[in-house]
Amino acid sequence: NAGVMQNPRHLVRRRGQEARLRCSPMKGHSHVYWYRQLPEEGLKFMVYLQKENIIDESGMPKERFSAEFPKEGPSILRIQQVVRGDSAAYFCASSPGFGTGNTIYFGEGSWLTVV
């Protein structure tokens, strides 16, 4: 049973370019979460999605950041016009969304470097 898959693992972008990070949840999971970890800092919640629906985006920056989880395909975290401060590790997680377990499992992360 494959875990949460994230790609790319490492991404380098120049200032002003766009970054797209992809996340495929575990099989049978319909809920996806995105977290950001700045260098030497803790994990910060960004957004929580079900297929075709945003449940909670209270942690998303108001500008340049967007996320989607379409009916088919992976969840996408999109960062437009990247700046150096966007350099961070971005972790995706997934859960079934129901049941006594409903445990959230994380991927290995995507490391974004803005130069």
Partner 1 sequence: DAKTTQPPSMDCAEGRAANLPCNHSTISGNEYVYWYRQIHSQGPQYIIHGLKNNETNEMASLIITEDRKSSTLILPHATLRDTAVYYCIVRVNYGGSQGNLIFGKGTKLSVKP
Residue 105 is a binding residue for partner 1 (CB under 8 A): yes
Whether cis (ω within 30° of 0) applies to the bond prior to 8 is yes
Residue 69 is a binding residue for partner 1 (CB under 8 A): no
DSSP state of 84: G
Residue 104 is a binding residue for partner 1 (CB under 8 A): yes
Residue 45 is a binding residue for partner 1 (CB under 8 A): yes
For residue 67, the number of C-alpha atoms closer than 13 Å in the C-beta half-sphere is: 30
Torsion sign over Cα 105, 91, 3, 57: positive
Residue 25 is a binding residue for partner 1 (CB under 8 A): no
What helix, strand, coil percent values describe the chain, rounded to 5?
5, 50, 50
- CA–CA–CA angle 16, 76, 110 (5° rounding): 70
Residue closer to partner 1 by CB (options 53, 80) is 53
Please report how close the Cβ of residue 40 comes to partner 1 at its closest, in angstroms. Answer: 11
Binding-site member from 91, 94, 112, 114 for partner 1 (CB under 8 A): 91
Sites of contact with partner 1 (CB under 8 A)? 4, 31, 33, 35, 42-45, 48, 50, 55-56, 58, 89, 91, 93, 95, 97-98, 100-109
